Amino acid sequence: MKPKNISELEQVVMDFVWAHGPATAEACREGLAARHPLKDSTIRTLLRRLETKGYLRHEVDGRTYLYRPVEPQQTVAARAVKQIIDKLCGGSVEQLLVGMVDHDVLDRKQLQHLAQKIASKKARTR
């Protein structure tokens, strides 16, 4: 699935559903109310849009829709980064990482952790 662009508010809703698991429109509205007070109709519209874009699916429980993410957050994030790498870095992960290091996006501790992950992955594939 090619990820479709989502608005900032749609992202807030997705973050809530990823963090709290399957959720009803009411649970989303209540969970977001402190930082993003939304009308019931607004949250339902956002959930429908996210479903249309392929980020959520729903099940019917009586008269209530229960929304679930189609894919884990990490999978969607990895695919979005892959698109960035393909579009802006000519498909080169190395070019992206060097740019992140050069512009202090990654610190020494993060680089060491990344190097450990790579070494661990290499050891498992042997």
pLDDT of residue 2: 59
Give 8-69's CATH code, choosing from 3.30.70.980, 1.10.10.10, 3.20.20.70, 3.40.50.720.
Answer: 1.10.10.10
The CATH number fitting domain 73-125, selected from 2.30.30, 1.10.490, 1.10.4040, 3.30.70: 1.10.4040
Q: In sequence order, what are the beta bridge partners of 60?
A: 65
Per-residue pLDDT of the chain (126 residues; tens, 9 = 90+): 556 789 999 999 999 999 999 999 999 999 999 999 999 999 999 999 999 999 999 999 999 999 999 999 999 889 888 988 999 999 998 899 888 888 988 888 998 998 899 899 888 877
pTM of the model: 0.77
**Domain positions in the chain:** 8-69, 73-125
**Residue pair 31/23 in contact by the 8 Å Cβ criterion:** yes
Residue 106 is predicted with a pLDDT of: 87
Which candidate, 7, 71, 69, places its Cα nearest to that of 42? 7
- Burial class of residue 44, CB neighbours in 10 A (0-12, 13-18, 19+): middle
